[in-house]
Amino acid sequence: MAESARRNILGITVSRLNCQRACNEIIVAAQARRPLTATALAVHGVMTGALDPCHRQRLNALDLLLADGQPVRWALNLLQRAGLDDRVYGPTLMLCLCARAEALELAIALYGNKADVLADLHENLLVRFPRLRIVARIPSRFGRVDASEQAAIAQTIAASGADLVFVGLVCPRQEVWLYENRALLSRPTVAVGAAFDFHANRLAQAPSWMQNKGLEWLFRLWHEPQRLWQRYILLNPLFIAMLISQACGWQYAHDSEIDVPYEGYA
């Protein structure tokens, strides 16, 4: 993707793509068996990079950083005149890609989350897309692995024959996983976060009106306060403050190349 199609928000170069264009780019790569890394970032995803130079370098090395959260889209439009007509909501992107994969007879793999969640996700996807080829579902190990174990996981995915890989780890572990495996998988890998839980009917999604008004965070905080309170109560105001500083002329530039430590999340 051309660098000119990305826009800088707090040092994170977010892709200026809507859901349909992002879906098209990923499917073209899947048909060509060409590696491509994509993730959909809400405010929390952007802030993990804005506050950590190593993770910022990981994010900016990925091929597609998509504006998942409405506040991220609004920031791109206001500060960078991106002209995005809607956000790229991870769960919606996943369904779009599954529909295209079914029509084109492309095989998919599911990586991350728990085995029972993957089983429910598999079943529900086949209800929506009866001819979808799901050739692998590999649960998370919920810990760290060494480089040889990481390579073995990537080899298992590659050997499945999948043309497209969905990754359902939490943020920022899923973006770390994309970065560390980008040279090991010769096919698109797309991080969709909570989409696995949503489509497996394990988590409720916010009503459309809350999503459209950028209030999905409030819905999720209400349902998972202990896990998410720091993410939203602390990071959301900081995101706004840093955006104001960027609007006032503060430059959040790309970092020069630095040594990024291996994390090995699996």
pLDDT in tens, 79-118: 999 999 999 999 999 999 999 999 999 999 999 999 999 9
* Percentage of the chain lying above the pLDDT 90 cut: 79
The pLDDT score that the predictor gives to residue 193 is: 86
Specify the 3-state DSSP secondary structure of 122: helix
Q: Which residues contact 209 (CB under 8 A, 6 or more apart)?
A: none
pLDDT at position 217 over 90: no
* pTM: predicted TM-score of the whole model, two decimal places: 0.92
**Token pair recorded at residue 31:** 């048909």
**Paired residues of 165 in beta bridges:** 109, 189
**Token pair recorded at residue 206:** 């916010």
**Token pair recorded at residue 234:** 């602390």
Evaluate whether 24 touches 18 at the Cβ level (below 8 Å). Answer: no
Q: Of the candidates 101, 94, 50, which has an alpha carbon nearest to the alpha carbon of residue 68?
A: 94
**Paired residues of 260 in beta bridges:** none
Q: Is 56 exposed, middle or buried (0-12, 13-18, 19+ CB in 10 A)?
A: buried
Evaluate whether 184 touches 157 at the Cβ level (below 8 Å). Answer: no
Q: What residue type is assigned to position 6 of the chain?
A: R
Q: Band of the pLDDT at 207, cuts 50, 70, 90?
A: confident
Whether omega before 188 lies within 30 degrees of 0, making that bond cis, reads no
Q: Is 79 exposed, middle or buried (0-12, 13-18, 19+ CB in 10 A)?
A: middle
The pLDDT score that the predictor gives to residue 116 is: 97
Q: What is the rounded CA–CA span in Å between residue 110 and residue 192?
A: 11
The pLDDT score that the predictor gives to residue 231 is: 77
